[in-house]
Structure 1
C-alpha cells in the first residue's frame, strides 16, 4: 500500500534569535499508511512538533521532501485535521457552533453544518451541551469539543500534538479511549506526538523513537496489541510491559543525551 504521508530525508532549519541557524530535524524519513496510527516519542525539544509542521504544510522543509498522497506538500493539503496541545475553541461560540464552523468554512449551509455538528457533538458524548460556551465546560469537555471540531471534517490525515497532556490522569484515559473509538474504521492516517511512552504504546500501531535534537527517526517499533483496545486494561498486560521495556531502552539513551547537552549548555 502506498503511504499517505511520507517524509524523505527532510531537514528543517530555523534562524535563531542570536543570528545563527538551528536545525530542528535532520534527514528525517518516515511513512504512514492509510488507517495507520503512528505515535512519536522523543526527548523534549527534539523536533517532534516540527515533524507535524512539515506534514501539515505549516513549514516547508529546508531540504528533502514532504509528501501527502504522493504529492509534494505545497501549503496545507486538503483533508488534514490538526489537533494542538492548546485547543482552538472560539470562546464567543457555543459548543454546536464551534463544531459547525469547519463545515461552514467548507461551503455547507448553516442547516447542513449544524446537522453534521449535532451528530458529532453526540458522538463525543456532549449531547445536551450544544448551547454551552467554552467557559462553562471542564477541561475534558473542551477536549471533546476540540476532537469533534477536528473529526467533523472527516480528515484523511489526523495530526495530534500532545492533545491530552494538560488533562488529569483519569480524564486523559477517557479521552484516549474516546479517540480510539472515533478513529476506528475511519481510514485516517494518524501521527500522534506525545511525551508519554505509555500513551504512545496504548494508542499506536507503531511507535517511532526520535533522536535528541536535531531529530531523526532512531527506531520504529510495532505494537502488536489487538484492537479494539481499552487503554487502562491493556497497560496491565505482560505484552504491554514487554513492548514498553524494549522501546524505553531506545528512548532512554536519547533522553540522557538531551539532558547531558542541556547541562553542558548551562555550564
Structure 2
C-alpha cells in the first residue's frame, strides 16, 4: 500500500474550523511558568492551537511535557503567563461556561450513589432535585448502568466507575470536553470498550474535545486530529489529520492499513521527543 502524503500542518497555522464557524478553543502564543524552589519552571511555551465545534483533538507527547498544563489553561484552572487562551471567543479568566473536565482519577464522590453523583452537576446549576435526578437517570441508562443507580462507587468495577464519571460529565451537555488520560488505569479490553462508548456518546453532540493520552493508538482511534507536543517545555511540534472514516470501531480500526500508515507517520514525529525525554532522565540520574 502506498503511504499517503504527510497530512501535518504547520503548528503556527492550525487548520480552520468548519466553514462559517469560529474555533471553540484558541491558544494564541500561550505560555505557562510556575515558580519553584529552583527558580521558574516553564511548563508550556508559545502554544498555537485551535479546536473547532464538534472536533475531537488528541494531545500526545512524552511524559511530563505539559499536556495536562495545556488542559488547565483551557479550563481556567491556571492562567496563562503570556499569550492568550480563548473559549467561545472570550479570553479565559476563570472557568468558562460549558466546559466539562474528566480527570485521570475519578471525580465521583464516594458517599453518593451513582444516580446522585450524576445528578450533582445539574443540581449545582440550579435544577430541582426531581429534574436533576430525571436527567441523571437518562444518562445512567445511556452509559449502560441501568440497575446500578443505587450503588456506591466502591461497589463498582473500574470500568463501571468510568462510565459513571462519563455520565457525570455529559449530563451537563458541555460544549467543550477536556479529558486527561481518563482511561489509562483500565485494562486493555475495558479501555477499548470505553473508547467505543465515548465515541458513541460524543457523536452528534457538537462538543469540542481535547483528549490527553500517552497511548498513540488511543489518540488515533478517537481523534480527528493528533497534536504532537515537544519534550518539555512543550510547544506544538506538528499536527496530523486522521483520515479514518466515522463511525469507528475501536478494535477493528486498529487492523486496517490506513490506521497503520497514519500511526507510522505520527510516531516518526513523536519518537524524537520521547528519546529527548529519556536522555534527559538518564542525564539527571547520572
SS of the residue 2:126 aligns to = coil
Residues 1:185 and 2:231 are matched in the alignment: no
Cα distance in 1, alignment partners of residues 250 and 111 from structure 2:
34
SS of the residue 2:251 aligns to = helix
Paired position in structure 1 for 2:220: 201
Residues 1:7 and 2:27 are matched in the alignment: yes
1:92-131 alignment runs, 5 A limit: 92-131=111-150
Paired position in structure 2 for 1:253: 272
Cα distance in 1, alignment partners of residues 167 and 96 from structure 2:
20
Using the size of structure 2 for normalisation, the TM-score is 0.92
1:41-120 alignment runs, 5 A limit: 41-120=60-139
Cα distance in 1, alignment partners of residues 253 and 59 from structure 2:
19
1:122-161 alignment runs, 5 A limit: 122-161=141-180
Paired position in structure 2 for 1:16: 36
**How much has 1:17 moved relative to structure 2?**
2.9
Cα distance in 1, alignment partners of residues 203 and 145 from structure 2:
19
**CA deviation vs aligned residue, 1:136-174 (integer Å, no higher than 9, x gap):** 000000000000000000000000000000000000000
Cα distance in 1, alignment partners of residues 152 and 30 from structure 2:
41
Cα distance in 1, alignment partners of residues 227 and 210 from structure 2:
10
**CA deviation vs aligned residue, 1:103-147 (integer Å, no higher than 9, x gap):** 000000000000000000000000000000111000000000000
Cα distance in 2, alignment partners of residues 71 and 90 from structure 1:
31
SS of the residue 1:93 aligns to = coil
Gaps of 5+ in 1: none
Match of 2:182 among 142, 163, 169: 163
Cα distance in 1, alignment partners of residues 67 and 37 from structure 2:
21
Post-superposition, which runs of at least 4 consecutive aligned residues in structure 1 deviate over 6 A? none
**CA deviation vs aligned residue, 1:76-128 (integer Å, no higher than 9, x gap):** 00000000000111011000000000000000000000000000000000000
Cα distance in 1, alignment partners of residues 32 and 201 from structure 2:
33
Cα distance in 2, alignment partners of residues 266 and 131 from structure 1:
49
Cα distance in 2, alignment partners of residues 208 and 189 from structure 1:
15
* Count of aligned positions: 266
SS of the residue 1:61 aligns to = coil
Gaps of 5+ in 2: 1-20
Residues 1:224 and 2:251 are matched in the alignment: no
